[in-house]
Amino acid sequence: MARECEICGKKAQMGNSVETRGKAKYLGGVGTKITGITRRQFRPNLQKVKAQMDDGTVRRIRVCTQCIRSGRVKKAVKQKPFELPS
């Protein structure tokens, strides 16, 4: 399962790379022309993150940045918070 988010399943999508030339009409040119269309891949922004699972274990998983920002991934605590001695 390479290049796929382990939370939402987002993976690479196919699309077009459009090559243009010429000057836009509003800039005083005769308009832009499409000179070539080739296929390309749009890849998700995947990061390797140490995440805390539901059962409390810590695992390194590949997740997209949208899952990290939206809070679907709970990052592991790197260091225990400071506690006063009792």
Residue 29, token pair as written in the block: 């040119």
Residue 50, token pair as written in the block: 């140490």
Give the global pTM.
0.71
All domains of the chain in start order, with CATH: 13-70 (2.30.170)
pLDDT tens series, the chain, 86 aa: 589 999 999 999 999 999 999 999 999 999 999 999 999 999 999 999 999 998 989 999 999 999 999 999 999 988 878 888 88
H/E element holding 63?
Answer: strand 58-64
Tokens 């805390």 sit on residue: 52
Helical ranges in the chain per DSSP H = 65-70
